[in-house]
Amino acid sequence: MNYALLYRFGVFKMLQGRVVIDFQYDEEKEQCSWDIKQKGKDMLSKDDLIQLLQHCIGELMTT
């Protein structure tokens, strides 16, 4: 997912970068694993990454 705008605490921040989420599910073990990598000019903090992921999950749940 690419991000260009992040909204937090009533303030918009202009950001340039990319977050790559590698999600895998092992059907035999019934376990999932995931890894997050960031690329680009701006890096997100842990809190900003969590907010971005929550937003994306919310968007997926409403479609």
Q: Give the tens place of pLDDT for each residue, 3-60.
A: 545 545 445 555 677 777 787 888 999 988 878 888 877 778 888 888 877 877 788 7
| Residue 53 φ/ψ, nearest 5 degrees | -65, -40
List, in order, residues 6 or more apart from 13 with CB less than 8 Å away: 5, 6, 7
Q: Is the pTM of this model over 0.75?
A: no
For residues 2 and 5, give the distance between their C-alpha atoms in angstroms, rounded to a whole number: 9
- Which pLDDT belongs to residue 32? 86
Q: Domain count of the chain?
A: 1
- Which pLDDT belongs to residue 14? 58
- List the domain range (segments joined by +) for residue 13: 2-62
